[in-house]
Amino acid sequence: MSAPVEAASTESQGGFAVSPVFHRAAQVAAGAGLGVLVLGLVQAPERALTSLLTSGFYFLCLGLGGAVFLALMYVANAGWFTVFKRIPEAFASYVPWGAVTLLALLPFVTTLYPWAKPGVMETDHLLHEKAAFLNVPFFAIRMGVMLAVWVGFTWMLRRNSLRQDVERGEPLTRKNVTVSAVFLVLFSLTFCLAAFDWLMSLEPHWFSTIYALYNVAGLLSSSVCAITVVAVLLHRAGALPRLNSSHLHDLGKLMFGFATLWAYLWFSQFMLIWYANIPEETVYFIARMHGGWEVPFYVNVVLNWALPFVLLLPRPAKMNPNHLLRVAGVLLVGRWLDLQLMVAPAHQPEGLTVGVYELAGLVGVGALFTLAVTRAVRTSPMLPVGDPYLVESLHHHT
């Protein structure tokens, strides 16, 4: 191995120490947020559960997105991302925590999902027809299996990479390529199910076959944004000195691409339903394009595509860390609004409400995510010194 790697390995012995104040604040935020949510379960159960589902899914997607990002890079034999690979790995380490936030919904399935309400199957013919799939035991089994698959594979990806710091060399990369390939296949199947089960079945009469893919686009776009934000912040804090403008350029290109993919799929879903104009399909958009949801409906497209598209179009924009932070912020807010639009109208048809319970979910689960990520960053060395692709990544030039 050449000199830069040796020099690099000495400049990042051990992990990055997050300031104790920040750590404490995150713990307090997690406790307070989740505490308010528990209170909400008594006060306004449907709102609290909607909030937990939205925030839980949002951050679980960021965690999963980290793992999917890694897996895509491994199967593509990519090397450029190696210098900041510990960030998606840190995201992946959140998946077990995220799994717990979703498992916490299980006892309240009958409150959250209309198809699970007692007696509804007897009076609703359409739901009765779907009863073989939409029933509580099968729902719980599916959730358990999906979460177990995700926890297992994300754990393997991260463990192999951390072991490579000690063992060094190619075999563990090869192993992760295999793990990634299997994970990507299982992920696409399980994530489709997850989107159908947890989000789409909130309005169980309605269906859209592109819904899962549309959610994958949101997952990719938001996780690339989160990776960029953390990478820039760690670089500023001095923990990632080897991150250069070419790495940012590529992250910016992915951000641009995935935002556009999201818009493509969003429009594909919208236009087909709008064009066919069949009542059983349009019911979803009628609830969102009129009344209190009308403004968020249009703002959603602006935040998730129009604004990022224009802001990321020039080449220098994709290399400027400040600019990337702003655009990533827009997209991350956009993803949250997008999920709100998918989830909340089922229980809050009157319009978007951002109150204490919504914020509690966002802050509480967000703090959990922050704790998991900082823990992973703290406990593992920032540079994967055993990765054979590290040299290529250090000299990455677009």
Partner 1 sequence: MSAPVLIGYFEHEAQVLAATRAVREAGHDLRDVYTPYAVHGLDDAMGLKPSRLTWVCFGAGLLGCTLALSLQLYTSVVSWPLNVGGKPFNSFPAFIPVTFELTVLFAALSTVAAFLVRARLFPGKKLQTLPRVTDDRFAIVIAPRQSPESLEAAEDLLRRHGAVATDLKEVGP
Which residue ranges make up the site for partner 1 (CB under 8 A)? 267, 270-271, 274-275, 277, 313-316, 397
In the complex with partner 1, the residue whose CB is nearer, 79 or 98, is 79
6-15's contacts with Cβ under 8 Å and 24+ in sequence apart are: 8/242, 8/383, 8/385, 8/390, 8/394, 9/383, 9/385, 11/241, 11/383, 12/239, 12/381, 12/382, 12/383, 13/381, 14/381, 15/377, 15/378, 15/379, 15/380, 15/381, 15/382
β-bridge partners, 391: none
In the complex with partner 1, the residue whose CB is nearer, 314 or 355, is 314
Q: Compute the Cα dihedral for 265, 270, 275, 280 and give only its sign.
A: positive
In the complex with partner 1, the residue whose CB is nearer, 125 or 397, is 397
Closest approach of partner 1 to the CB of residue 313, in Å: 7
In the complex with partner 1, the residue whose CB is nearer, 17 or 310, is 310
Closest approach of partner 1 to the CB of residue 262, in Å: 15
Closest approach of partner 1 to the CB of residue 327, in Å: 18
In the complex with partner 1, the residue whose CB is nearer, 22 or 274, is 274
In the complex with partner 1, the residue whose CB is nearer, 44 or 301, is 301
Closest approach of partner 1 to the CB of residue 258, in Å: 17
Q: Give the separation between CA 166 and CA 333, rounded to whole angstroms.
A: 39
Helices (H), the chain: 3-11, 20-43, 45-75, 86-92, 95-103, 109-112, 120-123, 125-129, 136-167, 170-194, 211-236, 245-276, 279-289, 294-301, 307-311, 321-343, 356-379, 390-394
Other C-beta atoms lying within 10 Å of the C-beta of residue 389:
20
In the complex with partner 1, the residue whose CB is nearer, 9 or 398, is 398
Closest approach of partner 1 to the CB of residue 254, in Å: 19
Closest approach of partner 1 to the CB of residue 314, in Å: 7
In the complex with partner 1, the residue whose CB is nearer, 320 or 348, is 320
**By the 8 A CB rule, do 301 and 260 touch?**
no
CB-based contacts of 308, cutoff 8 Å, min separation 6: 255, 256, 259, 327, 330, 331, 334
Closest approach of partner 1 to the CB of residue 337, in Å: 21
Closest approach of partner 1 to the CB of residue 277, in Å: 7
Region of residue 387 (left: phi > 0; alpha: psi -120 to 50; beta: else) = beta
